[in-house]
């Protein structure tokens, strides 16, 4: 069995480790960064490609590598990639799975400081209107900064990003103060988030609804502890995604893989 895994998330590393432990499979993992590829290699991926891949090239890779199964384990907010992968699977009549991490269970969490919006531009507008004073912690990745900065000054903008060339270059393009960049190494704990709020005297935090594995609960708990606002961008709805192709945990993944092996 040859698997093409669209990765770059913690979920994708868990999938690699699970499959290599339980199945006889070759895994080729694609990520958009060298850092993501490094983690995939460490997790046991047989090969990696560390750059964005256009649709036509992805199709050629699938054909040339004789891929049997396409697993999309990209971030819940990587809407375009998921739409592209479903289109390719349909076009090539290829077995396909979408690993969709569950939404965060906030049933027992105080969400009184959470403000939901549908886009990053809406997040910037809300902050400009309701939280025009004080610093802003941006915990939503380098690629989302531009829409925030349409309405929020870089003078009070502090992004936590992976210190890779692509992200640093994005900060330069947007005139983000290099002294404002917070290096990121995986999801932070509640206390680490509290420390950052205190260090940068933040009054508002921006995050995605990226599930528990993305540290959402830790961020909310930190915001609550310091009584600051948290602006949360809700997940995009992905059209043409068949619910029968979606798995949300390794047990569900395992059940579907048994059909293929």
Q: Give me the sheet containing 2-6, strands edge to edge.
A: 47-50, 26-31, 2-6, 69-72, 95-99, 246-247
pLDDT digits (tens, 9 = 90+) for 40-90: 999 999 999 999 899 999 999 999 999 999 999 998 777 888 989 999 999
Q: Which fold has domain 114-233?
A: Rossmann fold (3.40.50)
Q: Are residues 207 and 232 in contact, defined by beta-carbon separation less than 8 angstroms?
A: yes
End-to-end CA distance of the chain: 7
> Cβ–Cβ contacts within 10 Å for residue 14, how many?
17
pLDDT at res. 57: 96
What pLDDT shows up at residue 27? 97
Mean pLDDT, residues 22-42: 93
Q: Which CATH superfamily is domain 2-102+237-260 in?
A: NAD(P)-binding Rossmann-like Domain (3.40.50.720)
Name the residue with tokens 């602006």.
Answer: 231
At 128, the pLDDT band (50, 70, 90 cuts) reads very high
Q: For position 76, what pLDDT does the model report? A: 78
- Where are the alpha helices (H) located in the chain, listed in sequence order? 10-22, 34-43, 55-64, 79-92, 120-130, 145-148, 165-173, 190-199, 216-226, 250-260
Q: Provide the 10 A C-beta neighbour count for residue 177.
A: 12
What pLDDT is stored for residue 90 in this prediction? 93
What Rg value do the Cα atoms of the chain yield, rounded? 19
Percent of the chain, pLDDT > 70?
99
pLDDT in tens, 129-156: 999 999 999 999 898 999 999 999 999 9
Orientation of helix 79-92 relative to helix 55-64, angle to 10°: 50
| pLDDT tens track for 195-217 | 999 999 999 999 998 777 778 99
Would you kindly state where each structural domain of the chain is located, as residue ranges? 2-102+237-260, 114-233
Quick check: 3 and 96 in contact, CB under 8 A?
Answer: no
Cα→Cα distances 105→55, 102, 187, 204, 236, Å: 34, 8, 17, 22, 18
Q: What is the DSSP letter of 128?
A: H
Residue 225 near residue 190, CB atoms below 8 Å:
yes
Please state, in angstroms and rounded to a whole number, the distance separating the CA atoms of residues 259 and 261: 6
- Express each pLDDT in 242-254 by its tens digit: 888 999 999 999 9
Let me know if the fold of 2-102+237-260 is the same as that of 114-233: yes
């Amino acid at each position: 069995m040859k698997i093409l895994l669209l990765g770059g998330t913690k979920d994708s590393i868990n999938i690699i480790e699970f499959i290599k432990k339980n199945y006889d499979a070759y895994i080729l993992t694609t990520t958009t960064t060298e850092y993501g590829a490094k983690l995939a290699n460490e997790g046991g991926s047989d090969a990696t490609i560390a750059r964005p891949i256009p649709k036509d090239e992805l199709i050629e890779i699938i054909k040339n590598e004789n891929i049997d199964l396409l697993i999309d384990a990209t971030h819940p907010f990587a809407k375009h990639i998921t739409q592209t992968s479903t289109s390719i699977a349909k076009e090539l009549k290829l077995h396909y799975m979408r690993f969709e991490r569950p939404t965060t269970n906030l049933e027992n969490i105080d969400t009184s400081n959470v403000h939901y919006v549908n886009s990053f531009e809406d997040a910037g507008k809300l902050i400009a209107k309701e939280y025009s004073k004080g610093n802003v912690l941006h915990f939503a990745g380098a690629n989302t900064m531009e829409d925030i900065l349409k309405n929020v000054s870089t003078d009070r903008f502090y992004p936590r990003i992976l210190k890779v060339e692509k992200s640093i270059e994005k900060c330069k393009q947007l005139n983000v103060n290099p002294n404002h960049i917070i290096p990121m190494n995986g999801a932070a704990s509640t206390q680490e988030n509290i420390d950052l709020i205190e260090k940068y005297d933040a009054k508002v935090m921006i995050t995605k609804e990226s599930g528990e594995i993305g540290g959402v609960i830790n961020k909310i708990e930190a915001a609550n502890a310091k009584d600051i606002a948290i602006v949360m961008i809700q997940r995009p709805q992905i059209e043409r995604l068949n619910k029968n192709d979606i798995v949300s945990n390794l047990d569900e993944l395992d059940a579907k893989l048994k059909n293929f092996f």
